[in-house]
Amino acid sequence: MIDMDKAQHIVDQHSHLEGGLLECLHALQHAFGYVPRETVDIAAEGFNISRAEVHGVISYYHDFRTKPAGKCVVKICQAEACQAMGSRALTKHAEEKLGMSMGETNEDYSLEPLYCFGNCALSPNVEIDGKLHARVGQDDFDRLVNGGERS
Amino acid sequence: MINVYVPRDTASISMGADDVAEEIAALSDDINVIRNGTWGMTYLEPLVEVETDTGRIAYGPVRASDVENLHEAGFLQGADHPLCHGPTTEIDYLKNQERLTFERCGLIDPLSIDDYKKNSGFVGLERALKLSQREIIDDVTTSGLRGRGGAAFPTGIKWNTVYEAEGDQKYICCNADEGDSGTFSDRILMESDPFCLIEGMTIAGIAVGATKGYIYLRSEYPLCKVVLNEAIRIAKAENYLGSDILGSGNVFDLEVRIGAGSYVCGEETAMLESLEGKRGMVRAKPPLPAHVGLFGKPTVINNVLSLASIPIILAKGGEYYKDFGIGRSRGTIAFQLTGNIKRGGLVEKAFGISLGDMINDYGQGTHSGKSIKAVQVGGPLGAYIPPEQFDMPLDYEAFSEAHAVLGHGGIVVFDETADMRAQAKFAFEFCAVESCGKCTPCRIGSTRGAEQIDAGNWKLTKELCDLMDSSSLCAMGGMTPIPVKSAMEHWPDEFKA
């Protein structure tokens, strides 16, 4: 169950900010791990816009989730500088290792594409549970997703 | 006490700088670890520096496991070691740069306002406070500064338009949605010298009569958010922001707002929509944001580096800045050497150095050791350039003539294994993922383009490129054909069958 008092409190904290809906949605996602359907109504009321508009914003941006993520969130950069250093092969390896396709979520993992961490002199880049790792080879990847450190 | 500098920027942390800092601090009570920004020599990160009587001595790349060995070799006294590069400022990569905008990056503790002031910080603001609004704008116009986000529009003209616009409220918006692959110069500036951006925005606010500024920061840069918010807090406490800046009566407040993973929100009107809490849909122009911008008010939208170049322009005068560069490309630009490159990092140089010198002298060729096949300059909407064109000077007009773009200065190197057909297809695919969907050429054309490349239908691909180029609402759809067409033109053998 979603703690609606907590959600209401978050909306109240942001609804006075001019144009603050994105900040509010980030805060809701930070608190619940995703933006629960139930919170759309109170966000709409708080910002005095329609539920459709709130839904429109949530669905527009890549960052916002409408379902919980896997226990471990793996993001692999798919942009050009990482491609030049083998991110396509690394992505294929990750899909095989985790038994899932890019963009999928299961209970254990979310495997997500990302377009640039801004660390392009040290490609390829992978973020695991919010921590960025540079120059990730396939062996490094295996160690990192198993909770270990890179060599 | 011995001062040891260990950078705290995203790149060095991604290579283990936090662990290195911890190991070094544990060596002795006599060590004062300072977390500076980065010098931008990314290939040496984490670059540890030890302060000695003869200056700061550089060691890198240092892993946590190297610290014990460095200690035994006497690095705290600046002793030699296989990882030692001598005095930092004598390293050729840095020594031959022309550091104007990035003059303090790496040198100072980013969150020490005293360090900032000791290194010519706020000199520009203090001078601006003695000038009229018109004089500030004239100085910026004289400098020849053009928008460093990529569009290269003259900054002084933009400011003047907002200055002359009627409005009870005006805004300064800093575009920190640095989404181009192969770029990180905004990130380095914000992480390594945040007061410089704050000073630039404050001067902009004073010049055009805006009392409120927003930094629209991409969510992929969490450390920038921490550093900027802390710097804003300090600047407010020291009266460099707020309701009476340095007792001058000028008002300027600043707020950081976070994007949500949309590339097209780097387009200025989509950014405004996003700042207003809406879907990041591109607006049709006119009206220009300078007239009808954020919340319908006159708004200056400048890139991080445009605004961060303002303090030195005001401190030293427009003429000083204008003396760097060639033709209509005045001043310096931060190039970023990335992808398959041996010595990746940030190189600030005056416009005019050749692409080949940048890649071979600074970059020293590929990381893989194989030969270079292509470089993509100017982000995902920039052209793929073959080695035969490496003598091209890095300036806006020369690139324009060659149907290429300098953009935000990103240079992504690909070695001989690159598949140019796959790169061309990716340009369409990226556009399909990131299109805001407002105009049809971009929304539909991007998906159809990827299909045509799979089908090998080159005539239709070219026609589609021409259509997207001529009829898209913004640069997203309008420039996606640039990488596609350049790949088809320079590597025709890969576009048969």
- CATH code where residue A115 lies: 3.40.30.10
Structural domains of chain A, count:
2
The percent of residues above 90 in pLDDT, for chain B, comes to: 100
Residues of chain B numbered 123-162 and touching chain A (CB < 8 Å): none
In this structure, CATH architecture of domain B2-95: 3-Layer(aba) Sandwich (3.40)
Identify whether the C-beta of residue B359 lies closer than 8 Å to the C-beta of residue B390: yes
* Contact residues of A toward B, CB < 8 A: 18-23, 25-26, 47, 53, 56-57, 60-64, 77, 79-85, 88, 114-123, 125, 130, 132-135
Long-range Cβ contacts of A31-37 (<8 Å, 24+ apart): A31/A6, A31/A7, A32/A2, A32/A7, A33/A65, A33/A68, A33/A69, A34/A64, A34/A65, A34/A66, A34/A67, A34/A68, A34/A69, A35/A64, A35/A65, A35/A66, A36/A2, A36/A7, A37/A66
Report how far residue B351's alpha carbon sits from residue B19's, in angstroms, rounded to the nearest whole number. Answer: 38
Q: Determine contact: B435 vs chain A, CB below 8 A.
A: no
Query: Which residues of chain A have a pLDDT value below 70?
Result: 150-151
- The reply to whether residue B277 touches residue A117, judged by beta carbons under 8 angstroms, is no
CATH number among 1.20.1260.10, 3.40.50.10800, 3.40.50.11540, 3.20.20.70, domain B113-321: 3.40.50.11540
Q: Are residues A56 and A92 in the same domain?
A: no
- Of A99, A120, A119, which is closest to residue A109 (Cα–Cα)? A99
Q: Does any domain span residue A123?
A: yes
Where does a domain end: A37, A60, A83? Answer: A60
Query: Which tokens in the block code for residue B343?
Result: 């010595």
So what's the pLDDT on residue B129?
98
Q: Chain B contacts of A128, Cβ < 8 Å?
A: none
**Which chain A residue shows the shortest CA-CA distance from B345?**
A121
- Of B138, B132, B169, which is closest to residue B155 (Cα–Cα)? B138
pLDDT at B38 over 70: yes
Where does a domain end: A18, A39, A60? Answer: A60
**In chain B, what are the domain boundaries?**
2-95, 113-321, 324-415, 420-495
Residues of chain B numbered 292-321 and touching chain A (CB < 8 Å): 295
- Of B128, B35, B168, B14, which is closest to residue A121 (Cα–Cα)? B14
- Which of B262, B414, B415 lies at the smallest CB-CB distance from A61? B262
Q: Are residues A141 and A85 in the same domain?
A: yes
- Of B5, B64, B62, which is closest to residue B32 (Cα–Cα)? B5
Report the gap between the CA of A66 and the closest CA in chain B (Å): 14
CA atoms lying within 13 Å on the CB side of residue B160: 13
Report the gap between the CA of A76 and the closest CA in chain B (Å): 12
Report the gap between the CA of A47 and the closest CA in chain B (Å): 10
Helices B481-490 and B420-434 pack at an angle, to 10 degrees, of 170
- The reply to whether residue A22 touches residue B410, judged by beta carbons under 8 angstroms, is no
Residue B203 to residues B97, B199, B218, B253, B284: CA-CA distances in angstroms? 26, 6, 23, 12, 29
Q: Does any domain span residue A66?
A: no
Report how far residue B6's alpha carbon sits from residue B48's, in angstroms, rounded to the nearest whole number. Answer: 5
Identify whether the C-beta of residue A125 lies closer than 8 Å to the C-beta of residue A117: yes
Write the pLDDT tens digit of every residue in B148-159.
Answer: 999 999 999 999
Q: Chain B contacts of A21, Cβ < 8 Å?
A: 277-278
Residues contacting residue A24 through CB under 8 Å, at least 6 positions apart: A10, A11, A13, A14, A15, A17, A43, A46, A47
Report how far residue B480's alpha carbon sits from residue A67's, in angstroms, rounded to the nearest whole number. Answer: 32
Q: Chain B contacts of A84, Cβ < 8 Å?
A: 338-340, 412-415, 418
> How many residue pairs from chains A and B have C-beta atoms closer than 8 A?
146
Report how far residue A123's alpha carbon sits from residue B451's, in angstroms, rounded to the nearest whole number. Answer: 28
Q: Determine contact: B38 vs chain A, CB below 8 A.
A: no
Residue B30 exposed, middle or buried by CB count within 10 Å (0-12, 13-18, 19+): exposed
- Which of A25, A82, A117 lies at the smallest CB-CB distance from B220? A117
So what's the pLDDT on residue A150?
67
Report the gap between the CA of A5 and the closest CA in chain B (Å): 23
> B335: part of which helix (H) or strand (E)?
strand B332-339
Residue A133's DSSP bridge partners are A126
Q: Are residues A135 and A108 in the same domain?
A: yes
> Would you say how long chain A is, in residues?
151
Mutate to test the interface with A, among B9, B10, B12, B14 (most CBs of A within 10 A): B14
So what's the pLDDT on residue A151?
59
Mutate to test the interface with B, among A15, A35, A60 (most CBs of B within 10 A): A60
CATH number among 3.40.50.20, 3.40.50.11900, 1.10.540.10, 1.20.1440.230, domain B420-495: 1.20.1440.230
> What is the three-class DSSP state of B486?
helix
Identify whether the C-beta of residue B95 lies closer than 8 Å to the C-beta of residue B89: yes
**For B384, which DSSP code?**
E
Sign of CA pseudo-dihedral B386, B390, B392, B396: positive
Q: Residue A32's domain spans which residues?
A: 4-60
Identify the residue whose tokens are 């003259």.
B154
Identify whether the C-beta of residue B58 lies closer than 8 Å to the C-beta of residue B86: yes
Report the gap between the CA of A78 and the closest CA in chain B (Å): 9
Report how far residue B60's alpha carbon sits from residue B84's, in angstroms, rounded to the nearest whole number. Answer: 7
**Which chain A residue shows the shortest CA-CA distance from B347?**
A121
Write the pLDDT tens digit of every residue in B381-393.
Answer: 999 999 999 999 9
> B208: part of which helix (H) or strand (E)?
helix B194-208
Report how far residue B78's alpha carbon sits from residue B67's, in angstroms, rounded to the nearest whole number. Answer: 14
Q: Are residues A49 and A91 in the same domain?
A: no
Q: Are residues A54 and A110 in the same domain?
A: no
Residue B369 exposed, middle or buried by CB count within 10 Å (0-12, 13-18, 19+): exposed
Q: Determine contact: B433 vs chain A, CB below 8 A.
A: yes
Is B324-415 CATH 3.30.70.1340?
Answer: no
Identify the residue whose tokens are 């110069």.
B185
Q: Chain B contacts of A54, Cβ < 8 Å?
A: none
Write the pLDDT tens digit of every residue in B210-260.
Answer: 999 999 999 999 999 999 999 999 999 999 999 999 999 999 999 999 999
So what's the pLDDT on residue B497?
72
Q: Determine contact: B238 vs chain A, CB below 8 A.
A: no
Helices B420-434 and B445-455 pack at an angle, to 10 degrees, of 160
**Which chain B residue shows the shortest CA-CA distance from A22?**
B277
Mutate to test the interface with B, among A61, A80, A82 (most CBs of B within 10 A): A80
So what's the pLDDT on residue B250?
98
Q: Does any domain span residue A90?
A: yes
Write the pLDDT tens digit of every residue in B361-378.
Answer: 999 999 999 999 999 999
Q: Are residues A55 and A76 in the same domain?
A: no
Q: Are residues A112 and A55 in the same domain?
A: no
Q: Does any domain span residue A151?
A: no
Q: Chain B contacts of A58, Cβ < 8 Å?
A: none
Report how far residue B200's alpha carbon sits from residue B7's, in angstroms, rounded to the nearest whole number. Answer: 24
Q: Are residues A77 and A108 in the same domain?
A: yes
Report how far residue A26's alpha carbon sits from residue B258's, in angstroms, rounded to the nearest whole number. Answer: 9
Q: Determine contact: B340 vs chain A, CB below 8 A.
A: yes
- Which of B15, B222, B338 lies at the smallest CB-CB distance from A120? B338
Report how far residue A108's alpha carbon sits from residue B37's, in angstroms, rounded to the nearest whole number. Answer: 36
> What is the three-class DSSP state of B55?
strand
